[in-house]
Structure formats: C-alpha cells, structure tokens
Structure 1
C-alpha cells in the first residue's frame, strides 16, 4: 500500500501509448524508483512529526514555568496551538493520501447486505478503511442486521455508518485525525458538538450532529413539559434532564427540532394556568385526592400528584391541617375539578358532622367517665391528622386525697382577733364536687349523666366503649383492729424529813399515815414518821419516810370498718382536737394595738389512709383466689405531759408501706413499741453511801413509760355488691371485736401475767430494779 501511495504522490507523468513489453519494462523501473522515494518520504514525515512533538513538549514546559512564575502565557499558548495544528495537518494529509490510494484499487460502491452481523464487524468492513476505530466490548458484540440490494457509493459510507450507529444508541467520537471511538449515548451525555440555548443556532449544525440544547419553558410548566418530553423522546438517542427551571436535551439536531415543534403545537400561548384552594367539609383531603386521581388519571412525583386526562394537566396538593385541597393547572381543568368536588360533597352525608348524645351512668362516676372518654375521643379524632397532638395527653386523671393531719402551728400568728379558732375539719376525702377538664363530654352529677358533643362517625365506637367502662366496680371492705396500750408507772420512796438536836420536836412518838381525800396535805402518799427525845447517848431526832407507788394503765381498742371502690383511697381518722395557745397576737382596738392571746384547734390521734388494688386470678386458676395490694399510710400522735396544758408535747410516728395479701387474710402492722425509764436518786453525804443502810438516808424516784400499738388490717373483696356485702355484714355482727375466741384467749393470758407481777413494784422499792439486784 505504501508503494502505491508513493507512486501516486511521485509520478506526475501519465503512461504513453506504448507496446505491452515497453510498458512492463517502464512500470518495473518506476516501481523500483518509487520504493526508494516512499522510504525517504516516510523518513521525512516521521522526522518532521518528531520535531513538532518535541517543540510542543518544550512549549508546554515553558508555558507551565511562566504560569508558575506569574508571567504572561498567551504567547506560549499560541505557540502550542500552532504546533498542534501542524501535527494534525500532517497526520490528516497522510491519512487522506492513504485513503485515496486505497480507493483507487477498490470498487466505488458496496451493497451493505449484512445478515446476523455485529456492530464490530460492520465497522471493520465499512469504517476501518478510513479511520482507526476504538470499540468497547459491550458495543463490539451488539447484534445488527442489514438488508440491501442497492449499491452504496464509497463516499457515503462514513455518513451512513454514523446514521446506523446513531439509530442503535451508539455515537462516534472523533479522538484525533486518525482515531474514532464508539460510545453509548446514555453513558456519555457530554459527547456533543456544542451546547446551545437558542432555536436559531439549530440551523447552523447538520441534522445528524449531536448537541446539548438548553430549553427554558415557563416555570409553572416545568414538570409537565419534562414529563411531556420524556414520553415523546427517542429512548435510544434522546435524553432529557431537569436542571432547576430549565431542561437539558441531549440528542441530534433533527430530534431536538421535532420535540420543539411538538411542544409548540401542544403548549400554545393562549392557555392560562390558575391556582385555587377548595375547602372540604365532608371528605378528607386524602380521599378527595384519590377521587381526582381516579377521574383524571394520575402520576406521582416527590409527594405531589399531577393528574392528566385529555391533554389537561392538574396538580393536586392536599392541605391536611386546613382540611383543603390546592388545585394548580389550566383554568378549564381547575374549574372541572372544582365542580366535581362540589358534586361529590353534595352526594355524601358528612361523617364529620357533630351530634349530641345523652348517656346515663349506671355504675360509674360521670366526672371520671367523662375524663376517660375525652382522652379516647381525642385520640380517635386526631389519629388521622398528621402532626396533631391529642388533647387527651394534656389531661391526666388525678384522685387527690388529703392524707395530712394538721400539725401544731407554733409561732406568732397573724390573726387579727384575740381568739380565732379554726373550724373543726375531721378526716375526710376530697369533695365529691369535681370540675371536669373535658370539652366534648359534659358531666351532670345531679342526674349522673353525661352529655356528649361528638362527631357522628365516632359515636358507635364510643357507645361500644361505654358498655365496657360503665360496669359494676369491685369494692373492698377493709376491717381494721387497733390495739393501743399505755402503761405509766411511778415509784417514789425514801427519806422525807430528818431533824436532829434542837431542830427536833423533842417528842416521843411514831406512826404510819396515808391520806387520800380532798384537801389532804399529801394525798396518795404513805408516810412513816418516828420522833425521839434526847438521851444520854443519842440526841433528839425526827425521821419521816414517804412511799408512793402509782401505775397508770391506758388501753385503746378500736375496730373501724370501711368499704371503698377498687383503687380508691379510704381514710379513717380517730383524732382528738386540742386548743393550742399561739401566744400573743396584735389586735387593733380603738386605734390602739394591743396584744391578746390567740388559739388554734389542732388534731392529734390515729389516721389511716388505705388504697386497695384488686388483682384478678389468673386464667385456669382452680382456686379462683384474688390478691389485694394495700397501700397504707398510718400516722400516730402521742401527746405528752407538759408544764402547760395549752402547749403540749406531741410524739408522732408514721408507717407507709405496700403489701400484697390474699383476699380475707389479715395483715398485722406491729412493733410500734416504746419504753422509757427514768431513775432519780438523792442521798445524804456519807450516810447515803454506806452499803446496806444507804436507802435509809436518801430518796429514790423511778418512772416507767411504755407504749405498744398493733394494727390488724383484713381486706375482703366484694365482687357482687348485693350478696357479698350482706354476707360480710352478717359475719361481722357474729364476731364482734373483743368477743373473738383468739382475742379472749390472749386477754386471759395477759390477766394471768398481770397477777404474777403485782408485787414487782414493791420488790423494786426495797431491792431496786431487776438489773440492779
């Protein structure tokens, strides 16, 4: 081929009319000369290309150095472009010479009949003679079939090959004067001749040139136009992408012109777009959106539904918070949608309509039931509204029970009157008159009814719920036995009078005196006195001894019984009110401030607050036993002796616990026991320290205080109020507190023990306490 090329470029003289032998001899001579000239031509061409590439590399280096130093690189860039143009010109000249020489020895046409061929074979057959083709593997083996009986001129092969490849989604990218690369349109969208944004610029490029056209429709129509182009584009050659409020179309010039012509025919300038918000009264925005979707047809994009039918475009935006729909589209389409919505709402009965329903409570408190229904109703109403917060979460059912006993209030009061006693407030539960926090459920306590103002669609659910809520509540009868014993013992004995010498009465007498009547000098005290006159060996003296043994035994027994509803606190208070002196308080009298005594009334005693919780037996439990959880809070007050009756000292004890017992079992709260012992001894010097006779010359006082308390709590679950309450009442009447055999037995044992300890105090007087003996 090289020899032929050199022959075409060197020989300038045509062959003369000669004989065959002469022509053969001349042709052989010319071939020999052409071989030498072709070798010299290639050598010169390669040398020239090497020098140009060397100069190009040097120009690049100088341009980079100038750029790093901050100098002007324009001259070097011009030099680079000039060198690259020279290299391309040489390579293109050499390619054209090679192609022309090849065409001289070939036929001037081709039939292009390729059955069950591949793109690689097609390019190798009809494209390889002109360029070096780079074909990726996925394109190389792509199947293609061509059928033709007409000859295709040689000069049309390149254009026809590009058309066939383009129809199969394959483009041709010019990589240099001699190299072309095949690529798939969908993988390289930027392999285009130019990027244009004007329709007039389309006429500058050939129809089969691939360009990137930037189209700018109206901003309100951007989505619809995008879907329109997507539907009508050639899926192998044309690709449409939305970039902001513009559309980028990568395709050939003829395809872009067709899409724009179709756009002009459909989206005429006379159409007007409008936006309208329609309020819904009987259907939710989601339901109406589905109706419009079924009527107009639908397609969804980014949470916004655009529906279209018969060329009409409609965008539906549900406004859940406002219960409305926003319609965006052509004016006639929006009007048709509005008419459809009104017609549907006229045909449907409004499920959101409010209705009034009256319910009479049979077994429940209307206030408590109204609060529960309010929470349930709020959940039903707001569960379908996105982002809504149920009002029921803000309302919490609370049962407030005042379990505190008013403590003594000491200090300077601010009462304006001299005596301002507080009214007596015995222990009791909170007032039954409660304020309901519900808005849609209004309780009327006097008739035990509830007036409900609710939506019609929620009324059947609320009625079904009322059947389960308004049922007989379990009750618990709580039997309480309180045993309290206070034992105060005082022993006073010892020397009361000792006179000797001239201070003695100088009488000879002796005796025993005990007085216990009104006006007595020492009531309740046993006195032993002895007087002797002076003798020759001992002076006169008077001696008196006093003996006092007192014992106080206080017993408090109480057996209260109370019945309460499950999980409802029950309070029992056994208290005594005492007037407390608060001291002097300022009082205005005739413009003058004077100070007078003020008093308050305070309660002291025993207060019990018990909250029962009934636990149902487990399924399959044969015993059918119920357990009860008791939450108890017990307070005990013990007033002590004080120098002033109106300012007593009070000891307070408190028990608070939670226990779980079986129905009918007894819970014992005991161990509240306190014992205080006080001993006082007064002795004469020296004589009171002599062993054996020391008690004769001194005075001893022993005081013992003991307090013990037991509380027995027995819960009884009343499942059926009528029958169970009657049965428990009869059993309670048969077994009164104090007559129960087990308590009678304990009482007898206590009496026997008391008899055996009658002389214990006397032994303590003579011999001292047990631990001192």
Structure 2
C-alpha cells in the first residue's frame, strides 16, 4: 500500500538488498533546474553541483542498453527519461555530461563493442577514471587505449558506488584498460590491509593503553568501512563484526609489558601519534598532612574548700585539739571563742589552651592513585552473645581499630599555555573519639568529612570545625548563708570544668615534575623552616607567655566580680 501511494506521487522504491530499500524519483522533474539546453558545450562552464536538464537525440539504443543506463542513473541520483527519439537527463552538471557521453557512445553503430563494469580495490572509481584518461592523452598510450582507431574508450565512474567503474569500447581496449588498472593497484599499498605492530610500554600499563585504543580504533575503522563497502549490511551484523575485530586488534603480553596491534595500515600512523601522547610518565604528587589538635581546658573553683566534717585540727601553739570541721563549731555548745578549724581555698578561673601537632605524615603518590593515612589504635571491645544450647550470655572480646583515617586522591591538571599546575583533591576523612568504659564497652564518637577541591600547586587546604565540648558543674554551700547575695560565694564551693577539643587538618600537595630533584629541593626547604634557638624565636616565645598570663588574670577578675 505504501509503495502504491509513493508511486502515485512520483516516488519509486528500489530493493538494494533483503534488508534495505531506496527511494528514487519515478517521474522526471524540472524543478530547481538552473539551465535547460540541448548543447553539451553550455554545461562545461557551470559548476559541477549545478542542477541542469539536458535533452539529446536518441539513436540505435536497444532495450538492454536502456535498462543498463537507467540502473546506473538511479544509483547516481540522476533522473533519466527516455522518449521515442529523445532522452532527457536531469541532475548535477558533472553527472549529466558523463551520462550524455555514455549514451552518445552506446548509440553509435560500432562492431564488436562491449560494456564491462570493473570494481577497483585500492583506487576509487574517480581516481581510476582520471588515471585512464591521462594515459589516453599521452602519445605513447593513446594507441594503446585505442584512440588511434577512432573508437576511443568511454569511461564512466559511478558516483553512488565509489569503486564501480564502467568501460565501454572494443574488447581489446577494455582488456588493456583492465591490465593497466591491475598493474597500478599492485604498486599501491592497500590502506585497508592489516599490519602487525609491536609496542613496548615505557610508562603506562599495557592494559590501560589498550583500553583507550580499543575505543578510538573503531571510529577510525568505521570511516574506512563506509568508504570501502558500497552496500549496507544489517546493523546487528555490522556490530558483531566490529566487536570480533576490535577484541583481537590489541593483544597484551604482561611478561614484557608489551602490546601487539593488528590494525589497518592507514590507521597505524594515527595510533602511533596517539600512543606518543598517552604513554608518558605519570605525574607524582607529594602530600604533606598536619593534624593540629587545639585543647582548651577551663577549671573554676570558688569558695570554702572543706565544708564537710571529719578533719581534726590541732592548735600549733599549745597543742589543743579542736572538734572536727566548721559545722561542728556552729553546732557545738562549747563556750570557747576560738576560730573554728577550716581550710579556706579561693581559686580563680584557670584557662589553659594547648595546641599540639598530633601527627605530621607525608607521602608521595602517583597521579589519580589514592594515598591513605591511618592513625588508629587497636583496643579490645566486649561483645555479649547468647549460647544457642545453654541459653546463657557469654562475653567475648574483639579487637577493633579506632582513630583517624585520611584517604586523599590527587588528580593533576597542567595548563599547556603557562605550565601552571593545579591539583584536584578528593578527601575522605574519618575521626573516631573513644570514651573509656569500665565494662570494656567504650562509646565511640565518629566524625566523617568528604569533599572535593581544586587548588594550585603548593597551596594548603585547611579543614576545621571538628569540635567536641565537655562541660560539668558542681555546687556546694552552707544553707542560708550561701544564698546571701554578694557574699554568699564566701560560704559555698562552686566547681566547674569546661573542656573543648578542636581538630584542624592542613593538606599541602606538591607536583613532582622531576621526582628525584624536586624531592630533594622540598626536603631542603623544610629543613630551613626549623626555627631552632634563634633570638627571634625566643622573643616570640616570651611574648606568648606574657599574653597568656594577662588573659588568665583578666578572666579571673571578671569571675570574681560576677
């Protein structure tokens, strides 16, 4: 039904193979024609792609020759309409000229004229046509191709099939032309021919290199398949052939770190240039890590240190022993007026800040290879399990690792313009804090950070904010007296403790362009940073101590006046 509808609208259907059909023009159309003429000389001055219509007389063209010309015209996208005494050709000017010459040649009354099609292997039909025409123009070869006999060989190159050549002429001329093409193609190296190339990898693993080439090579081969195959194969068949070919194109020899390539000759040079860019030394990265721990301890104790009873106090002058404690003094009915024995302890706010380096590891790794820092402690953890037979609970101990783990993956990117290096860091940091327990069942506090940043070579990445805070407060006071505003703190005892711990991670990556010399240079720079006992360092240390004392005094006075 579809074919009938298309036929009524001037569109024909041609069966190329069992799976593919082609739509062709079934009616002659003069639409978009730039020139309508019956003179062949008018077409020589036009562009090759200009659409023209040419009408020429028709003589001595039997049905067999007509079918042959029509079959070629359909494949070359040329409209050909044969009337009783004339023929109309519509198409590109270059194709119209070739078909006009072919029809004129076939219309001539020549004895022993033959028409033969030749499929070239290494040359395209257009190249073969130009070569044969060049041979016919030389004085030596003109007789060889039959030009001297007045019946010159006619050559038509198919535009649809790039390797199909049509020869029209005497049998001897066609045989001579075929021989010339065979001799020429023997001298030409076939670009589609397979070749074996052995390559020893210098810096890259052969399997990694083969994976990349297997993705590139099909694209190169697909272009050659489109140029060489005139027909269209089923899609699934093409995919199966490609999969089979590409799987065997690159063979790995792990013993010698080599790769054997069985590829087309015309693709070999492209693959060699690609290998030269891929098989280069991997950049190495030196990663320096500093783990800082800032601990802040604040302990407050204000008031009488001993409100409880139970301490016996002796007068050092006469050896008299008093009753125990200040509470016994107030509750005793003794008439003496001696001051009761007690220990008066009044402590101001004490603040202690301690910044220490927990660890300063450094490691050198390759580009895109993760580096792992593990600073853990292995402890025993009690695990209770129920016996299936006795239904009793048993305790067993397992070893577990807790601590700090850093996993850093660097990816190096170097600008080709100014050779500036940038590093993309993928960090995965885990912190485990253990709170001791008498039952060997410690409470574990876990913190986890994942991030991805891009920094310049030598810059430092700072990760902070991992804070843990512990606060406790205890109050003791004399009833009624401890509640008096202002002086109530003299009759009580307040103890408070505030401990804060904050972690900072400093990560500094450096690209090692020359692993040996760059590593020595970095080590020398690090040794020069050591302060030692130089005067500037001693002066800064004394200044820091004075600032710490001043800060503690200011906080103590604030607490006393509250």
State the TM-score, normalized to the length of structure 1: 0.42
- Residue 559, structure 1, aligned to residue 360, structure 2: yes
Take 2:164 and 2:395, find their aligned partners in 1: how far apart are those partners?
Answer: 77
- Residue 648, structure 1, aligned to residue 463, structure 2: no
Q: Which residue of 2 aligns with 1:635?
A: 429
Q: Secondary structure at the match of 2:259?
A: strand
Q: Which residue of 1 aligns with 2:501?
A: 707
Q: Secondary structure at the match of 2:203?
A: coil
Q: What are the ranges of 5 or more consecutive residues in structure 1 without an aligned counterpart?
A: 1-215, 243-258, 298-308, 396-436, 512-526, 620-624
- Note closer, same or farther for the CA distance 1:222–1:289 as it changes in structure 2 (3 Å cut): closer
Q: Which residue of 2 aligns with 1:718?
A: 512
Task: Confirm or deny: 8 A CA contact 1:677 1:702 kept in the other structure.
Answer: no
Task: Confirm or deny: 8 A CA contact 2:126 2:157 kept in the other structure.
Answer: no
Alignment length, in residue pairs? 435
Q: 1:383 aligns with which of 214, 219, 223?
A: 223
- Note closer, same or farther for the CA distance 1:720–1:498 as it changes in structure 2 (3 Å cut): closer
Take 2:225 and 2:539, find their aligned partners in 1: how far apart are those partners?
Answer: 71
Q: 1:223 aligns with which of 47, 65, 70?
A: 70
Take 1:593 and 1:347, find their aligned partners in 2: how far apart are those partners?
Answer: 92
Q: Secondary structure at the match of 1:383?
A: helix
Take 1:376 and 1:311, find their aligned partners in 2: how far apart are those partners?
Answer: 43
Take 1:443 and 1:742, find their aligned partners in 2: how far apart are those partners?
Answer: 62
- Note closer, same or farther for the CA distance 1:458–1:768 as it changes in structure 2 (3 Å cut): same
Q: Which residue of 1 aligns with 2:523?
A: 729
1:488 shift after superposition = 3.7
1:571 shift after superposition = 2.4
Q: Which residue of 1 aligns with 2:333?
A: 535
Q: 2:294 aligns with which of 460, 477, 485?
A: 485
Take 1:362 and 1:597, find their aligned partners in 2: how far apart are those partners?
Answer: 53
Q: Which residue of 1 aligns with 2:471?
A: 678
State the TM-score, normalized to the length of structure 2: 0.55
Match runs of 1:325-344 below 5 Å: none
Q: Which residue of 2 aligns with 1:626?
A: 420
Task: Confirm or deny: 8 A CA contact 2:411 2:423 kept in the other structure.
Answer: yes
1:587 shift after superposition = 6.9
- Note closer, same or farther for the CA distance 1:288–1:573 as it changes in structure 2 (3 Å cut): same
Q: Which residue of 1 aligns with 2:261?
A: 452
Task: Confirm or deny: 8 A CA contact 2:307 2:325 kept in the other structure.
Answer: no
Task: Confirm or deny: 8 A CA contact 2:156 2:165 kept in the other structure.
Answer: no
1:290 shift after superposition = 3.9
User: What does the per-residue CA deviation read over 1:559-584, in whole Å, with 9 as the maximum and x for residues that have no partner?
Assistant: 3333344x535524142144575854
- Note closer, same or farther for the CA distance 1:340–1:703 as it changes in structure 2 (3 Å cut): farther
- Note closer, same or farther for the CA distance 1:731–1:440 as it changes in structure 2 (3 Å cut): farther
Task: Confirm or deny: 8 A CA contact 1:528 1:546 kept in the other structure.
Answer: no
Take 2:326 and 2:165, find their aligned partners in 1: how far apart are those partners?
Answer: 116
1:751 shift after superposition = 4.0
- Note closer, same or farther for the CA distance 1:617–1:231 as it changes in structure 2 (3 Å cut): closer
Q: Secondary structure at the match of 1:639?
A: strand
Q: Which residue of 2 aligns with 1:605?
A: 404
1:589 shift after superposition = 7.3
User: What does the per-residue CA deviation read over 1:178-215, in whole Å, with 9 as the maximum and x for residues that have no partner?
Assistant: xxxxxxxxxxxxxxxxxxxxxxxxxxxxxxxxxxxxxx
Q: Which residue of 2 aligns with 1:517?
A: none
- Residue 374, structure 1, aligned to residue 214, structure 2: yes
Take 1:296 and 1:696, find their aligned partners in 2: how far apart are those partners?
Answer: 122
1:639 shift after superposition = 0.6
Take 2:538 and 2:424, find their aligned partners in 1: how far apart are those partners?
Answer: 28
- RMSD of the alignment, in Å? 6.1
1:725 shift after superposition = 2.9
Q: Which residue of 2 aligns with 1:360?
A: 200
- Note closer, same or farther for the CA distance 1:310–1:750 as it changes in structure 2 (3 Å cut): same
Q: Which residue of 1 aligns with 2:146?
A: none
Q: What are the ranges of 5 or more consecutive residues in structure 2 without an aligned counterpart?
A: 1-61, 91-102, 134-151, 228-234, 316-323
Q: Greater relative contact order (Cα 8 A, min sep 6): structure 1 or 2?
A: 2
- Note closer, same or farther for the CA distance 1:510–1:731 as it changes in structure 2 (3 Å cut): same
